[in-house]
Structure 1
Amino acid sequence: MDFHLLNELGMRPFFQQQLSLDELENCTLGRVVAHHKSEVAVLDGTESARFNLPQNFEQVCVGDWVLISGERLVRTLERQSLFQRKAAGTAQERQLIAANVDSVFIVSSLNEDFSLNRIERYLVLAKEAGVEPVVVLTKKDTHDDPESEKDRVQQLDPLLEVHCINALAQDEVLVLKEHCRKGRTVAFLGSSGVGKSTLVNSLVGEQTMQTAAIRETDGKGRHTTTHRALKRIPGGGLLMDTPGMRELQLSDVKEGIQLTFAEIEAIAANCRFGDCQHEKEPGCAVLKAVDNDEISPRRLDNYKKLRREEAHNSATLAQRRAKDRAFTKMVNSVQEQSRNAKKFK
């Protein structure tokens, strides 16, 4: 294995330590750079090759490191970070979004679709994954007072990195290149039409992603990215673009919520009741903080909403897993009884 080339793709000691001597000698490593239904494109440092996903192979997503033997995928290495969500619609399953990401650009445009609540959702995902979040407010040229919106986002967390840019202006995009150094992976999250693809094109330096105009009626965008893919930045790291996500339902992100709303969590520790829901309970320190303008009503409402959503989705997923385990156990039992019956015939 040429680890010099693999290092440019984001190889770290964390991944190398997972390999046995036999695997080092007889297998190759590659990074998943695209995922199309039942097959993946894998880059080994010099060449990209497509592999069919074997039946019952573990779930794979863009950014994963995979071990290859000949023309066969052997296994996926343990991930250093992972973005995931509850799958859209009614299916109670998780959808993997991106793996082994160093920084995530949370992109929001300064038009009618701008939403602090949505930005907080993405921050919860980033905090849960342990990935550095960077908020990028695009379409600066379309807003009368973009700095005021930047200040509103900054108030979510004084330590949060926030940039207000015009994605078509190369000099303004340069501020983001620090996160795109060689060997580093940056992911993009945001709704359709916020300018993710335009930003990718500006960072890569060429028209690699199709772009489309937003709808004039409501400022919402059309999907221009149809699949997740890793793209190299000339002389730099890797960019991961993802399809616009309007339905971003959270599950198993309790720590992410706690970190994103750390000031509310800290104040909640002083509530009279340990299970305080911050509704109308006597001695609620959080409601007192709202009355004293220490916490905005909007932020508290979104905190409670995300906690309820996370609890509901996580419980539903746990129930689904329990049912699946029970069904598997029943099938194995029936098969065992059938084998025993044949022995005594």
Structure 2
Amino acid sequence: MCIQATVPHSFNQNSRSLAALGWSEFFSVQLEPGEADYARMRIATVHRSRVTAESEEGPVRLSLPSQTNTTDFAVGDWVLVDPQTRMLVRWLERRTLLQRRTVGARNQQLIAANVDTLFIVTSCNDDFNPARLERYLALANEAGTTPVIVLTKADKVTEVESYQQQAAALQSGIAVVSLNAKTHEAAAALALWCRPGQTVALVGSSGVGKSTLLNTLAAKPPDEAQLTGDIRENDAKGRHTTTSRSLHAIEGGGWLIDTPGMRTLHVSDVAAGLDILFAEISELAPTCRFRDCTHAYEPGCAVQAAVAAGMLDPARLDRWRKLREEDRENTPSGSSSRGNKPPKARGKRR
């Protein structure tokens, strides 16, 4: 599904109600008796020794309980804060969580929390890689966010339709938007997902135009704009211009979480996400003769029959098999992929 929009939404960066920040009934029901006086804030940046948040009054630097590990925070988290001391009291359970497991790491790396829509950004050049896009789609599906593939640099090619068709074929019903990230029309094209109270996040490789798109969506003046970098013409790879995750107000009244470029994304804990991504395979699997069919050589395999009949792309099946095996190898036994319940802040509640 390819999306084009032409009607821009109004933009009011001064809108600071809790609802405009993304607060919903999901978080309200988590409040306990005696917590009505705590301020509700949303994590905006996370650094090694400090954390900032967005509140109804504006940006706030939080005070943290002793021995707090800032890696437990995700940009987009909702927290309760003592309004007098600005001391963090506790986290609230996450509605969605984007996270990934890096090589050699025991715990998953938090990417963004409470995201409604994930903009998977790639460009109409050599960066376009269907296999890598499938990894991002599995991540989004597992987290419970709505994925949208955003094709940047559409003004640089004559045949953008080919990129749109390849992207749309990756997952049933996936929205695909092609645009020039430098123009205001980009904000109009993405307005459907950037309405008040909505949160989007940007992921993709370095050099695909994420920082440029952020500057456009947030209508940032030149002195506040995110740095952007050029790409190498021989391989379309770019330099990292975003080095940390951060929350930004954007046109239409929504919020955007920017993330550093990720060229390598190892799949882990995304079994359900893969089932959604490869729905044409997961829907056929129950009709195979054997319940534990690997869809490789067994007699009575419905998936292989679909390949033989020309109804299923064999390259697609190969990519499914590779991602499924990688997910099994990288997923620790008994791990929980959702991770939506963050640890409680150390210290007493007041």
Shorter-chain TM range is 0.7 to 0.9
Could you list the runs of 5+ residues in structure 2 that have no partner in the other structure?
1-14, 336-350
Question: Which residue is 1:299 aligned to?
Answer: 316
**Matched ranges for 1:295-334 at <5 A:** 295-315=312-332, 318=335
| Distance (whole Å) between structure 2 residues aligned to residue 127 and residue 238 of structure 1 | 20
Question: Which residue is 1:268 aligned to?
Answer: 285
| Distance (whole Å) between structure 1 residues aligned to residue 270 and residue 319 of structure 2 | 15
Q: Higher mean Cα deviation, 309-318 or 142-151?
A: 309-318
Residue 143 (str. 1) matches residue 157 (str. 2): yes
Q: Higher mean Cα deviation, 286-295 or 3-12?
A: 3-12
Code of the residue aligned with 1:252 in structure 2: it is: D
Question: Which residue is 1:225 aligned to?
Answer: 242
| Distance (whole Å) between structure 2 residues aligned to residue 53 and residue 151 of structure 1 | 48
Question: Which residue is 1:109 aligned to?
Answer: 123
- Aligned-pair CA distance for 1:7: 1.2
Q: Which has the higher helix share?
A: 1
Greater relative CO, 1 or 2 (CA 8 Å, sep 6+): 2
**Bigger radius of gyration:** 1
- Aligned-pair CA distance for 1:158: 4.1
Residue 83 (str. 1) matches residue 83 (str. 2): no
Residue 159 (str. 1) matches residue 176 (str. 2): no
Code of the residue aligned with 2:188 in structure 1: it is: L
SS of 2:236's partner is coil
- Aligned-pair CA distance for 1:186: 0.7
RMSD: 2.0
SS of 1:21's partner is coil
| Distance (whole Å) between structure 1 residues aligned to residue 33 and residue 294 of structure 2 | 53
**1:55-89 Cα deviation digits (max 9, x unpaired):** 15581110000111223211110001110110x23
Code of the residue aligned with 2:80 in structure 1: it is: L
Residue 183 (str. 1) matches residue 213 (str. 2): no
Residue 67 (str. 1) matches residue 80 (str. 2): yes
Question: Which residue is 2:48 aligned to?
Answer: 37
SS of 2:42's partner is strand
**Matched ranges for 1:209-220 at <5 A:** 209-220=226-237
1:247 aligned to 264, 274, 295, which one?
264
- Aligned-pair CA distance for 1:294: 1.3
Question: Which residue is 1:334 aligned to?
Answer: none
Code of the residue aligned with 1:11 in structure 2: it is: W
Could you list the runs of 5+ residues in structure 1 that have no partner in the other structure?
319-345
| Distance (whole Å) between structure 2 residues aligned to residue 306 and residue 184 of structure 1 | 31
State the number of aligned residues: 315
Question: Which residue is 1:322 aligned to?
Answer: none
SS of 2:326's partner is helix
Counterparts in 2 of 1:271 and 1:299: CA distance versus 1, 3 Å: same
Counterparts in 2 of 1:168 and 1:71: CA distance versus 1, 3 Å: closer
- Aligned-pair CA distance for 1:52: 5.0
Does the 8 A contact of 1:200 with 1:209 survive in 2? Answer: yes
Question: Which residue is 1:238 aligned to?
Answer: 255
Counterparts in 2 of 1:202 and 1:4: CA distance versus 1, 3 Å: closer
Code of the residue aligned with 1:212 in structure 2: it is: G
SS of 1:187's partner is strand
Question: Which residue is 1:22 aligned to?
Answer: 34
**1:222-257 Cα deviation digits (max 9, x unpaired):** 111111001012551111110001221122111111
SS of 2:287's partner is coil
| Distance (whole Å) between structure 2 residues aligned to residue 158 and residue 89 of structure 1 | 30
Does the 8 A contact of 1:41 with 1:51 survive in 2? Answer: yes
**1:270-292 Cα deviation digits (max 9, x unpaired):** 22221111222222221221122
| Distance (whole Å) between structure 1 residues aligned to residue 334 and residue 29 of structure 2 | 32
TM-score, structure 2 normalization: 0.85
1:119 aligned to 110, 116, 133, which one?
133
Does the 8 A contact of 2:187 with 2:251 survive in 1? Answer: no
| Distance (whole Å) between structure 1 residues aligned to residue 98 and residue 263 of structure 2 | 16
Does the 8 A contact of 2:74 with 2:110 survive in 1? Answer: yes
Q: Higher mean Cα deviation, 234-243 or 182-191?
A: 234-243
Counterparts in 2 of 1:248 and 1:52: CA distance versus 1, 3 Å: farther
**Matched ranges for 1:192-207 at <5 A:** 192-206=206-220, 207=222
- Aligned-pair CA distance for 1:90: 1.7
Does the 8 A contact of 2:99 with 2:110 survive in 1? Answer: yes
| Distance (whole Å) between structure 1 residues aligned to residue 311 and residue 151 of structure 2 | 25
SS of 1:240's partner is strand
SS of 2:257's partner is strand
Does the 8 A contact of 1:38 with 1:53 survive in 2? Answer: no
Does the 8 A contact of 1:8 with 1:45 survive in 2? Answer: no
TM-score, structure 1 normalization: 0.86
Question: Which residue is 2:59 aligned to?
Answer: 48
